[in-house]
Amino acid sequence: MAKICLVVEFHIKEGAHGAFDRIIREHAAGTLADEPGCERFDVLQPKDKDGPDLSRIMLVEVYADDAALAAHTANPRLGRTRAAYADLITDRKINICTI
């Protein structure tokens, strides 16, 4: 069975980077701790020529299989996290891939 990888890119409102970063890192830690099917959950800070690009944050999440991703999607933490950051972003793009 193929592993599932999510690559997610968030575009963050000006001045909201710090708040969004705290929310998403807490979510990542909780997912890794509570969901045995989550094998990896990295929070990436894109850079530009001058340093960190504070208008974006990316995630790379790896799940053991489709069932593990379904469990993640059904976890109430995901809904609470999305509600917490809803006013902090302008866009979110999710790419679902197999490994």
What CATH number does the domain containing 94 carry? Answer: 3.30.70.100
How confident is the model at residue 80, as a pLDDT? 98
- Domain of residue 58: give its range: 4-98
Assess whether pLDDT exceeds 90 at residue 59. yes
What mean pLDDT comes out for the span 34-61?
97
How many distinct structural domains can be found in the chain? 1
Assess whether pLDDT exceeds 80 at residue 55. yes
> What is the distance, to the nearest Å, from the Cα of residue 44 to the centroid of all Cα atoms in its chain?
9
Tell me the percentage of the chain whose pLDDT exceeds 70.
Answer: 100
Q: Are 41 and 61 in contact (CB under 8 A)?
A: yes
Assess whether pLDDT exceeds 80 at residue 88. yes
Q: Model-level pTM greater than 0.85? A: yes
Q: Are 23 and 81 in contact (CB under 8 A)?
A: yes
